[in-house]
Amino acid sequence: MALLEIKNLHASVAGKEILKGITLKLQPGEVHAIMGPNGTGKSTLSNVIAGREGYEVTKGEVYLDGQDVLAMAADERARAGIFLAFQYPVEIPGVTTSAFLKTALNAKRRAEGKPEIDAMDFLKLVKAKTAALGMPYDMIKRALNVGFSGGEKKRAEVLQMTMLEPRVAILDETDSGLDIDALKIVSEGVNSLRSPDRAFLVITHYQRLLYYIVHDHVHVLANGRVVASGGKELALELEAEGYAKYLDAAA
Amino acid sequence: MKPSLITTHPFGEAYAKSLGVAPWRGHLPGPKVEEWRFTPLRNLAKIAFAPAAINVSVDIIPRTVPVIQGAARLVLVNGAYRKDLSDANLGKGIELSHGKVPAKEGSSLIALNAAYAPASLALHVTGAVKKIIHIISIGAAEVAPAALHPRITITAETSSSVTLVESHVGLPGETYFSNPVASITVGEGASVRRYVSVDEDNEAFHLATSLVKVAGDGNYEAFHLGLGGALTRQEVRVALTGENANVRLNGAYALNGTSHHDITTVIDHLLPNCTSSQVFKGVVDGESHGVYQGRIHVARDAQKTDARQLHKALFLSRGPAIDCKPELEIYADDVQCAHGAATGEIDPNHLFYLAARGIDPETARDLLVEGFLADAVNEISDEAVRAVFGAAIGQWLKLRQARPS
Ligand SMILES: Nc1ncnc2c1ncn2[C@@H]1O[C@H](COP(=O)(O)OP(=O)(O)O)[C@@H](O)[C@H]1O
Ligand SMILES: [Mg+2]
């Protein structure tokens, strides 16, 4: 069974159809890249999978390990193992990163029938994970994303991912706004999480992330549809030739 | 303007006579008194409160009173000092006495307090006091509605410093009306930190007045937490009477049900180079009502004044009401004054972000509410008290959840 299965997904925002029939299958262990020009529905797809309100699914299904994802509330989806690294993480004043991480981690542990994490173990874990991502440990004392630079926000997203160890991680343009060093660190974060029972959906606008993240499949999204799928060579072709040919085809 | 008064005040004048004190001259302020416009006292005036008994048997401190490690503890029950419940080992630089209550002056509530307060809990601070002084005022009405009038006097001499915590709580039983008055004098270069928590019984009334004077180079930092009571008001009047005096007045409140909480502040900048800053934040749920009135008065001589004031409220539902009234009266020309006020609801984008990390909606809301209040709570400069007050807010949120709504 596919780990994440998206079947003929149609979704509208404010009465306007954005996703026009998307079908994707992510097997355990796979990394899929989704590329496409701006405004084609990449973020819409990730938001619909994560359960954001305001999107109306008009047709189609999404399954996580056979479970009906669309029937679950957003928080249930996350506890079931879906993780979305946001393209634009929100700033939440007053809530420290550490309180947030602990609450999120404990929500997951509770769902798994485990006790809450001990305070010392939590600090140790954060120390190890921040160090691996080249982040100062002190950042967990700051309010969540508040005053973080674009790059810091993206790293914070990856930190959350490595702490929560999801089953399916969707990274929505996590590479945008990162310099090469940060890009490498973020990619290492993803590569380190790669495992036979986890899958990734890596959304990106640029080929360059795919130099660092080892990926198996590439899909081109244009005008709410998957217009091409292939292997690594497709990403290289897109880099050389651009999206023009697919845009014409999708229009 | 002539104050309008509720003339059928609940304290029989005959009773006052029988005590040998002059009958209480004032009455409760009515709805036409501008400062009380948002806090009507109709419900208070309906109840026939008897003066609270001094000798009630109370042998434990209620569990709602936070434990502050290493603090000295001074306990008042119905306004009277209770040695048996206190741990008055205050350490160096401070002395406790039980003074006479000053003559009846000021507002009608102060006059009422003066008429009935058993004695004033007086602290005379002469040095740098290490221990936190925790004053606990317990209201215990027993079988009939009762009124209590705690009186606290703090005098901090030149260059002395002290940190005080005040917890106002009640015992289960009949409703009570607490009318505490605190007079605080901060001497030259002295520093007083005062952290007040009002967590009265659900049915109780609490109308507190604080009168603060800060001399030159003196610092007064206060925090007023409002978590419980049917009708509560924390009125704080601060006069900056010397140059380079500073006051930081902050607070937070969390209301549900039909409770009403009023923060009224008056800051008088009388001389040059003084600063005042205020950060108040509140969350309101149910059918509750929050009030913030902040008056800043800058006298003509008070050049180079820096006065700031902020009030923000978060609505957890559509039922509550907020009244916010900032007033700036500025007679000096070289001053910096800023005030801000805002109300809002929880941002759905914040909720979704937390949901996307597996946090259920209730927990997410609590986290966001605590985060909202944190701006104010983080103004508490004493780390231990900051933790204790933060925990009290966390507890409030938990209890709120436990109640079916
Ligand atoms: N919340 C929204 N309200 C209105 N329009 C939206 C909303 N979200 C997305 N859209 C529209 O949907 C289309 C796809 O957007 P998006 O999914 O963000 O594209 P991408 O991530 O590929 O750049 C755009 O035309 C965008 O304007
Ligand atoms: Mg996007």
Q: Are strands A168-172 and A199-204 parallel, antiparallel or unpaired?
A: parallel
Q: What is the pLDDT of residue B19?
A: 41
CA–CA distance, B350 with B364 (Å, rounded to integer): 9
Token pair 């993206």 is at which residue?
A154
Domain ranges of chain B: 5-345
Q: Considering only the beta carbons, identify the residue of A51, A143, A160 that sits closest to B357.
A: A160
Cα within 13 Å of Cα(B355), Cβ side: 21
Indicate the angle between helix axes A119-132 and A180-193, nearest 10 degrees: 130
Confidence of residue A136 (pLDDT cuts 50, 70, 90): very high
Please count the structural domains in chain A: 1
Confidence of residue B405 (pLDDT cuts 50, 70, 90): very low
Ligand number nearest CA of A222 is 1
The pLDDT tens digits of the residues spanning B324-347 come to 999 999 999 999 999 999 999 999
Q: What is the pLDDT of residue A246?
A: 79
Q: What is the pLDDT of residue A189?
A: 84
| Residue A40 CB less than 6 A away from ligand 1 | yes
Chain A partners within 8 Å of B361 (Cβ): 73, 75
The pLDDT tens digits of the residues spanning A122-133 come to 999 999 999 988
Q: B26 CA to middle of ligand 1, Å?
A: 65
Whether pLDDT at B96 is above 80: yes
| DSSP E strands, B1-139 | 5-6, 28-29, 50-51, 72-77, 80-81, 94-99, 120-125, 133-139
Distance of CA A167 to the CA centre of its chain: 11
Q: What is the pLDDT of residue A184?
A: 86
Whether pLDDT at B13 is above 70: no
Its ipTM equals: 0.96
Q: What is the pLDDT of residue B402?
A: 57
Ligand number nearest CA of A172 is 2
Q: Which of A7-21, A184-198, B268-282 has the lowest mean pLDDT?
A: A184-198
Of A150, A151, A130, A133, nearest to A141 (Cα)? A130
Confidence of residue A221 (pLDDT cuts 50, 70, 90): very high
Q: B234 CA to middle of ligand 1, Å?
A: 49
Chain B residue closest in CA terms to A80: B358
Ligand number nearest CA of A37 is 1
Structure tokens at A226: 């998957």
Q: A204 CA to middle of ligand 2, Å?
A: 9
Per the model's pLDDT, the better-predicted residue between B215 and B53 turns out to be B215
Question: Between chains, do A94 and B372 touch, taking CB under 8 Å as contact?
Answer: yes
Q: Pocket of ligand 1, candidates A18, A57, A173, A203: which has the most ligand atoms within 8 Å of its Cβ, to mutate?
A: A18
Structure tokens at A141: 């004392």
The dihedral through the CA atoms of B29, B33, B38, B42 has a sign that is: positive
CATH number of the domain enclosing A224 = 3.40.50.300
Q: What is the pLDDT of residue A160?
A: 97
Q: Across chain B, how many H-helices and E-strands are there?
A: 6, 24
Q: Which of A2-16, B89-103, B360-374 has the lowest mean pLDDT?
A: B89-103
Q: Considering only the beta carbons, identify the residue of A52, A78, A90 that sits closest to B358.
A: A78
Q: Encode B327-340: b = buried (16+ Cβ within 10 Å), e = exposed.
A: eeebebeebebebe
Whether the CB-CB separation of B203 and B230 falls below 8 Å is answered with yes
| Residue A89 CB less than 6 A away from ligand 1 | no
Q: What is the pLDDT of residue B117?
A: 87
Q: What is the pLDDT of residue B398?
A: 86
CA–CA distance, B405 with B389 (Å, rounded to integer): 25
Question: Between chains, do A90 and B350 touch, taking CB under 8 Å as contact?
Answer: yes
Confidence of residue B212 (pLDDT cuts 50, 70, 90): very high
Mean pLDDT throughout A55-72? 97
Q: What is the pLDDT of residue A4?
A: 98
Domain that holds residue A196: 4-250
Q: Is A210 exposed, middle or buried (0-12, 13-18, 19+ CB in 10 A)?
A: buried
The pLDDT tens digits of the residues spanning B59-90 come to 889 988 999 999 999 999 999 999 999 999 99
Confidence of residue B104 (pLDDT cuts 50, 70, 90): low
Question: Between chains, do B371 and A111 touch, taking CB under 8 Å as contact?
Answer: no
